[in-house]
């Protein structure tokens, strides 16, 4: 007995809606773009974390689902003001229309820094993007901060970032 095409299409659509509600419904749950204003500074910038990694690390969200990660060398990073970090992100984003790793001074820094720009998406209540790790990184947003969750070989690394509002 053959199942009519209309019934099969209906059943497949119903299964997809039931099985994958997080992907289609999650974007509106994260709030407005206003929640992603300014940039985010890694908790531990200018401390032992920076000495170990030799970088202060910042995250910025751009329109049309782009995310940037900025790595400014430590200890030079301790003298960089938040407004300069925002201008560096903007200058780097203007240099590419796609995913990229860009190294430069971006017209605002005295030392070379690296910016990684990548597309992001949503999965359930999290932001997901490629971060050069074993698997995609996820971001969990909170009031005035975010948690970057990087997959590791044995366990996940959770790194907290604080939101910095800049004009």
99 and 118 in contact (C-beta within 8 Å)? Answer: yes
Q: Please, is 12 exposed, middle or buried when counting C-beta atoms within 10 Å of its C-beta (0-12, 13-18, 19+)?
A: exposed
User: Cis ω on the peptide bond leading into residue 68 (within 30° of 0)?
Assistant: no
The answer as to whether 5 is a domain residue is no
pTM for the whole structure: 0.79
The answer as to whether 47 is a domain residue is yes
Which contacts of 55-64 are long-range, i.e. CB under 8 A and separated by 24 or more positions?
56/80, 58/85, 58/89, 58/161, 59/139, 59/146, 59/148, 59/161, 60/86, 60/89, 61/33, 61/36, 61/120, 62/89, 62/93, 62/117, 63/33
The answer as to whether 6 is a domain residue is no
Residue 90's domain spans which residues?
A: 30-164
The answer as to whether 10 is a domain residue is no
pLDDT by residue (tens digit) across 19-69? Answer: 444 443 444 444 444 468 899 999 989 898 899 999 999 999 999 999 999
> What is the CATH number for 147?
2.40.128
The answer as to whether 59 is a domain residue is yes
pLDDT by residue (tens digit) across 55-90? Answer: 999 999 999 999 999 999 999 999 999 999 999 999
The answer as to whether 107 is a domain residue is yes
The answer as to whether 120 is a domain residue is yes
Q: Alpha-carbon distance 40 to 146, whole Å? A: 8
The answer as to whether 17 is a domain residue is no
Number of domains into which the chain is organized: 1
């Amino acid at each position: 007995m053959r199942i009519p095409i209309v019934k099969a299409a209906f059943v497949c659509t119903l299964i997809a809606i039931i099985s994958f509600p997080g992907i289609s419904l999650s974007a509106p749950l994260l709030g407005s773009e206003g929640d992603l204003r300014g940039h985010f500074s890694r908790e531990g910038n200018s401390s032992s974390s920076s000495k170990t990694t030799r970088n202060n690390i910042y995250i910025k969200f751009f329109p049309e689902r782009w995310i940037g990660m900025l790595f400014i060398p430590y200890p030079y990073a301790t003298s960089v003001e938040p407004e300069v970090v925002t201008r560096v992100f903007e200058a780097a984003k203007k240099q590419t229309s796609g995913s990229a790793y860009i190294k430069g001074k971006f017209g605002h820094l005295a030392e070379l820094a690296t910016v990684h720009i990548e597309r992001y998406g949503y999965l359930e209540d999290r932001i997901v993007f490629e971060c050069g790790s074993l698997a995609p990184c996820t971001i969990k947003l909170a009031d005035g901060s975010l948690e970057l969750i990087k997959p590791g070989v044995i366990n996940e690394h959770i790194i907290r970032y604080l939101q910095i509002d800049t004009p």
